[in-house]
Every structure is written in structure tokens, then in C-alpha cells.
Amino acid sequence: MKSLRLAIMAAAILLSCGAGVQAQTTLRIGIAEDPDILDPSIARTYVGRIVFSAFCDKLFDIDEHLNIVPQLALSYENSADGKAMTIKLRPGVKFHDGEPLDAEAAKFSIERHMTLPTSFRKSELSSVDHVEIIDPLTIKLVLNKPYAPLIAQLTDRAGMMVSPKAAREEGDKFGLHPVCAGPYKFVERVPQDRMVFEKFADYWNKDNVFIDRVVFYPIVDATVRLANLKSGGLDLIERVLATDIKDVRSDPNLVLSTAPELGYLGLTVNIANDKNKGALSQSEKVRQALDLSIDREALNQVVFNGEFTPGNQWVSPQHPYYQKTFPIRPRDVAKAKALLKEVGVALPVTVDYMVTKGAENEAVAEVVQSMAAEAGFDLKIRVVEFATAFQQAQAGQFQIFQIAWSGRIDPDANIYVFMHSKAPQNDGGYSSPEADKLMEDARLVVDPAERKAIYEKLTNILLTDLPIVYLYHRTILIAHTNKLEGYKQMPDGLVRVVGLKLK
């Protein structure tokens, strides 16, 4: 029955992809989930960021070497005391509704990120006190204190500009009809089926846009995504299975693009919001026992053929901010059992384990479940549709939430939003005044050595408390047809469509 359903899905996608192709060039992209709301202030999913990159330009972007480069802004300058940033905007930029992107519009967008009640950008811009207009194409961000990660935040959703006119008219429905200033403009979205965008004729960089339409198809099953790429129903897919790498590389019609990811996959533990007050939420020693029960390298070999990087921190072991004084602990089932005995919990320790749909996600959960069982845990895997899982996480309806974070170029963005007390994505409700202070201090410091010393103290706390049990760091795996020219993979995992051509 499942095979039949997948076959029907694949056939439907092929038929819908084929419509209208002769009329214009269409880039068809298969993504692993259906994104949440297409509003850069409210959105929080990785696939959403992939879609945003096609239609919602930012003040700044990054290149393949993680250098910050201009996009909607031309330049920036920090004040000597680090409490102001002056940004020069690119002239002649228009939103998709024809409205100009000027200082007034940029001020509106940043203030919307900061003040919208449902915004997830608040913590990213929390240091910004207010925005001043210097001239029609210049704004100044006035800070309440120095904030080292600010420029990095403006390379992502906090730096995305939206049309003030559309945002005011649509109100809380803006995400249903988003209007930005990117290369493609929004046409339609059919939930769980497709998102359609067409080339924006007045795009500021229109001479480098060569494809007429971009359509995103959410396809949870990676095997179906790859099958459609091979058959010509899709032109590019994200998150190729590590076990399919050889298959892709051996196909003369396909190209595999890779990059080390900036983020991680971890097990978020519901510490403060667990209504059942399970043992995992009540004792850091129980969480330490779970951590010790997991063999990360074995997990990497079994599920990913050794293609990913085992990890225990919010940055990978290759990252300059990785704390080498805290290496990955080897698996120690005897010590895990001893910790559970010391706490005196009833065995087995039953845990609700929420996992998003997907072959690799579920395979990881099954390996972790098997390993943890040997130490005395009974992890009850609960597979949930992606968007629903995020809703349940925010509502505290989990004990473990297995979720990946795509990562950001500044380490602050991999930790603060998840670990700081009452931060918007702190789904487990972790709170440590000492950890909060260290995260805040690290934001004030520009010197890498000083910041790393602060993060060393923070790492010691977090590896003791274990609000998130980090497991590994993925390799970004993007496959596309050899008819697609100009594709380059960046470490942030996004799919950039400017400059691409279809033969």
C-alpha cells in the first residue's frame, strides 16, 4: 500500500511539473518538508529559508567562504563604541508590488521584526534600541549595547525586507501573500503540494536571472525526491540521503553539490514544560545517562555511511569556536546505568520521543532508541508531520524533540535562541542565570579569543545540564540535473537561484 501511494505521488508530481514547461523555463525544486508561514518575521524552518532565498532578499548575504557581502545594502559601518551601525542601501530597488525600498521601508521592516508579537526575530535584534533615518538611502541602527553578531543576523531572516504597504494591508495574513524584494515574486501556494514564483521584471539584479519560474515541491520521502530528479520531473533536490551518494555520483545526468553544514542535529529535552514531570526533565544526571548511552560514531556509520560528523556541541569539531577541552564522551553504558541507579528512578525510564517524518530522521531515532534501551531507557518514538511537530514543540507537547538546526555563520545564532531563558525557540524551557550571563557577555565581545573563552565556560555548563543532547553535524547534500548550470552550494544550506541557467 505504501509503495502504491508513493508511486501515485510521484506520478502526480511528474504531471504537475510538466504543465506549462514549454511556455517558459521552470526550475523545479524538491524540498524535504512543507515550510511554515512565508513571513520572514514569523518563520522558523530550514525549508522556509530555502524558499525565502528565491523571493526575499536580505540586506547582506554570505559567499562560499562565509564572507559577508552586499545584497540589498551596499555597505555598513560600525561606530567606534560599537553601539551604532550605519547602513547604506542599494539605490533603485523595488518590492514586488512596485513600492521603493528606501530608508523608510528598511526602517519599517526592521521594526516589524522587532515588534511583531509573534516575531521570532526579536532575540536576534534585541540589542537594537531604535532605527534612525539618515537620508533616503541610509539608516542607522542604534544599539542599547554592543552586539557582535548583528551583521551576521542581517544576512538571514532578520535582514529580509518586506513591503510596508503589503504588510500593513495584509496584517497577520502577510505570510499568505508575501511581498519582498527578491528575484522572484510569489504567485501561489497549495499546502503540502507546491509553491510557485515567477521572475520579477524590476529586480535590481535582473540581468543575472535567467529562469522564468521557480516551483518548490514538498516531498517528505527522499527516495521519491530522487526518483523524480532521475526521471526529469525535478531539476534539483535537497537533502539527498547519505546512502544515495554513490547512486547520484554514478549517474551521468546528475551532479552532487556538497558543503559542511554550519548547524547540528540534537535532542531537545523538555525541562520546564514537561507536564508529566518525567525523570529526564527532573534530573541532569538522567540526561547525562542518556548522553552516555549513545555511540555517535556508530550512529554515523549505521545511518549515514560515515558521511556526517559526530558532535557534542552547537558547532562542529572543525569550527573555530569548538571547545576541544570538551571532546565527545565515549559511550559508557555501565556509567549510564550507575547514574540512573544513583538518582533512584524506576526502570525503564519511559520517554516520549518526538521525531519529524523522514527516512533518515526515523532511522536515527531507531538507533538512538536501541542504544538507550541498553542503559535503561524506553524511548517511545512518535513520528509527527514536520509543521505539526513545531507546533507541538512550542506548546511543550514532547519530552524529547529530535530536530536539526541548519546553522548560522556566528556561533551566537546556534545557541542563544535555544538556550537563553525565554528565548523564542527555547522549546524545552531551559533556564540558567549563569548560562544567560555568559551568552549575553559573548555578544558584547568582538575578539575571537575572548569570545571563545566565554563560550568555554558556557560549554561546561551546557554539557552538564544537557538541555540539548547534540549528536552530529550534517553534510549538505544537494543533487541537480546536469542541465542546470551555475549552481554553487553555500555552507548555510540554502539554494540560491540568481545566476542559474537551464540548458
> Rounded to whole angstroms, how far apart are CA atoms 371 and 388?
27
Under the banding of pLDDT at 50, 70 and 90, the label for residue 354 is very high
Confidence of residue 15 (pLDDT cuts 50, 70, 90): very low
306: left (phi > 0), else alpha (psi -120 to 50), else beta?
A: left
CB atoms within 10 A of CB 201: 10
What mean pLDDT is predicted for residues 4-31?
60
Handedness of CA 358, 363, 364, 368 (dihedral sign): positive
Residues of the chain with CATH 3.90.76.10: 60-166
Report the sign of the C-alpha dihedral through residues 77, 78, 79, 85, in that order.
positive
Quote the CA–CA distance of 162 and 181 in Å, as a whole number.
7
- Give span(s): CATH 3.10.105.10, the chain: 264-473
pLDDT at residue 309, as a whole number: 97
Tell me what percent of the residues of the chain surpass a pLDDT of 90: 93
C-alpha cell at 455: 563560550
Instruction: Find the mean pLDDT for residues 407-434.
Output: 94
**pLDDT at 424 (0 to 100):** 87
What pLDDT does residue 13 have? Answer: 47
Mean pLDDT of 110-120: 97
Query: Does residue 74 surpass a pLDDT of 90?
Result: yes
Give alpha helix (H) positions in 399-494. 416-419, 433-444, 448-465
Condensed to tens digits (0 to 9), the pLDDT of residues 460-478 reads 999 999 999 999 999 999 9
pLDDT tier at 365, thresholds 50, 70, 90:
very high
pLDDT attached to residue 401: 98
Euclidean distance between CA atoms 384 and 361, whole angstroms: 11
Unique residue bearing C-alpha cell 546556534: 414
Element (H, E) at 363: helix 359-373
- Coil, strand or helix at 462: helix
Mean pLDDT value of segment 264-291: 96
Distance CA 362, CA 313 (A): 22
- What secondary structure letter does DSSP report for 244? G
- Rounded to whole angstroms, the Cα distance separating 336 from 341 reads 9
DSSP letter for each residue of 251-280: -TTEEEEEEE-S-EEEEEE-SSS-TT--HH
pLDDT at 124: 93
CATH topology of domain 60-166: Dipeptide-binding Protein; domain 1 (3.90.76)
Above 70 in pLDDT, residue 3? no
Domain limits, CATH 3.40.190.10, in the chain: 2-56+182-260+476-502
Half-sphere exposure at residue 210, Cβ-oriented, CA atoms within 13 angstroms:
12
Nearest CA-CA partner of 347 in 368, 372, 371, 367: 372
CATH code matching the domain that covers 2-56+182-260+476-502, chosen among 3.40.190.10, 3.40.50.300, 3.40.50.720, 2.30.30.100: 3.40.190.10
3-state secondary structure 62-87: ECCCCCEEECCEEEEEECCCCCEEEE
Q: Are 283 and 465 in contact (CB under 8 A)?
A: no
Give the span between the Cα atoms of 120 and 125, in whole angstroms.
Answer: 10
Handedness of CA 462, 466, 471, 474 (dihedral sign): negative
pTM for the whole structure: 0.86
Considering the domain delimited by 264-473, tell me its CATH architecture.
Roll (3.10)
Helix/strand/coil (H/E/C) assignment for every residue in 392-420: HHHCCCCCEEEEEECCCCCHHHHCHHHHC
**Percent residues over pLDDT 70 in the chain:** 95
Q: What is the pLDDT of residue 232?
A: 97
The reported pLDDT for the residue numbered 422 is: 82
Q: Among 406, 405, 361, 351, which Cα is nearest to 383's? A: 361
**Confidence grade of residue 23 (pLDDT, cut at 50, 70, 90):** low
- Could you tell me the strand order of the sheet in which 309-310 lies? 309-310, 468-473, 264-269, 400-405, 349-356, 377-384
pLDDT of residue 6: 42
Q: Is residue 14 pLDDT above 50, yes or no? A: no
Q: What is the mean pLDDT of the chain?
A: 94
